[in-house]
Structure 1
Amino acid sequence: MKIALLPLALLVTAPATASDWTLDRDASSVTFETTVLDAPVTGQFEDFEAAIRLDPENLSEAHIDASVTIASGGTSNPSYTGEMLGEPGLAPQAHPTASFMSHSVAASEECDTCYVASGDLSIRGETRPIDLPFTLTIDADRAVAEGQFVVRRADFGIGGSSWGSSAREVTVILHIEADRAQ
């Protein structure tokens, strides 16, 4: 269910500049981890978009806008996937996407390639502020970002089902690869 989080597909509508990036969906992934009945459960979202404007030398212009198609989420367990996508789970019929929109991106003191995108995460019609820590490596015209964040299901009205008390939190894991826009 935390799958809905994320984050993360990024959308930028400004014209391409040296700091705009085009998502490589085939090389990128949005996955999640949680526990159900004390057993680990993993899954992924297959359909996501992202618009990214990010230049480490000009973070004041950085912007990340991402979305995930909820119905594209699943686990290896059909029963868990059904509960995750049903009501009172992520309910993609009523809430087809989850999104993240940054308000700011800042360098982190954790490391030279560490950043934090602060913004709003929207799932099931509920919006909450989050900080999304990530690492970023740029090699010529290719960028690779790795990040993760935790979604507390109750914060977004995701409840009920056998996931109930055992899957209170879902960790969303992002692997994003992008090419510099031409």
Structure 2
Amino acid sequence: MKQSFHHCIASALIFFAIAMPSGARAEVDLNKSLITAISKQMNVPVEGVFKKFSASVHFDPSAPSSGSAQLTVDVGSYDLGDPSYDSQVIGKDWFDAQTYPTATFVSSAIAAAGGGQYRVTGKLTIKGRSAMVVVPVTLTQTENTQALDGALPIKRSQFDIGTGEWKDTSIVADEVTIKFHLVATKF
């Protein structure tokens, strides 16, 4: 079996909104934030980390429908912890980072779901393919920061992640879970 990606997957990118009072902007603290993609190869979970991403967020928890969020992820920064796997995953069969260097999420609606929970609807684009997704988000606030946590299952095949022999989902599962912990500092 080729050692190509394991979790190469689907990537990710999805993302979401950080809450700020009065529609204020929040600056995402990349040192405290994390976006990962978890896939299963031969039914064994494999997790990779996206090392580079940026976010623009406008959100007021008292008026969630007026909020917006945009996230851009550098798919070439996907790190599986092994340089040979990393180079395979960003190659043509998986993310094709040379042709499609970024994945994006742009919100179109944010709705409260109760108890610090929100549903963020938006367009997720990976490898030039787009899909509308609904991201469940949990908001935690402190005096100076806000954090968003969540997980979104996606199908890698929907975004053409894994081509050629890797299109077969019996080795690398079709479902990939994008997990995130985004921390924003108020300003």
Normalised by the length of structure 1, the TM-score is 0.87
Query: CA 1:78–1:163 in 2, change beyond 3 Å: closer, same or farther?
Result: farther
2:158 paired with 1:155:
yes
Counterpart code for 1:177: V
- RMSD over equivalenced CA pairs, Å: 2.2
The superposition leaves residues 31-84 of structure 1 with CA deviations (integer Å, 9 ceiling, x where unpaired) of: 121111222211100001011111110112210100110100021344443332
Query: CA 1:105–1:50 in 2, change beyond 3 Å: closer, same or farther?
Result: same
Query: CA 1:44–1:9 in 2, change beyond 3 Å: closer, same or farther?
Result: farther
Secondary structure of the equivalent of 1:106?
strand
Map of 1:104 onto structure 2: 109
Whole-angstrom CA distance in 2 between matches of 1:77 and 1:162: 19
2:142 paired with 1:139:
yes
1:159-174 aligned within 5 A = 159-160=162-163, 161-162=165-166, 164-165=168-169, 166-174=172-180
Number of residues of Structure 1 aligned to a counterpart in Structure 2: 175
Task: Calculate percent identity across the aligned residue pairs.
Answer: 27
Map of 1:175 onto structure 2: 181
Whole-angstrom CA distance in 1 between matches of 2:183 and 2:168: 34
Query: CA 1:47–1:3 in 2, change beyond 3 Å: closer, same or farther?
Result: farther
Q: Is the 8 A contact 2:145 2:185 kept in 1?
A: yes
Return the match for 1:7 from 14, 25, 46. Answer: 14
Map of 1:127 onto structure 2: 130
Secondary structure of the equivalent of 2:181?
strand
Whole-angstrom CA distance in 2 between matches of 1:135 and 1:87: 34
Map of 2:47 onto structure 1: 42
Whole-angstrom CA distance in 2 between matches of 1:135 and 1:40: 24
Give the C-alpha shift of residue 10 in structure 1: 6.8
Whole-angstrom CA distance in 2 between matches of 1:150 and 1:170: 6
Query: CA 1:84–1:9 in 2, change beyond 3 Å: closer, same or farther?
Result: farther
Map of 1:27 onto structure 2: 32
Give the C-alpha shift of residue 8 in structure 1: 3.7
1:41-60 aligned within 5 A = 41-60=46-65
Unaligned runs of 5+ in 1: 12-16
Moved more, 148-157 or 119-128: 148-157
Q: Is the 8 A contact 1:9 1:67 kept in 2?
A: no
Give the C-alpha shift of residue 133 in structure 1: 0.4
Whole-angstrom CA distance in 2 between matches of 1:72 and 1:43: 10
Unaligned runs of 5+ in 2: 1-7
Normalised by the length of structure 2, the TM-score is 0.85
1:56-135 aligned within 5 A = 56-109=61-114, 112-135=115-138
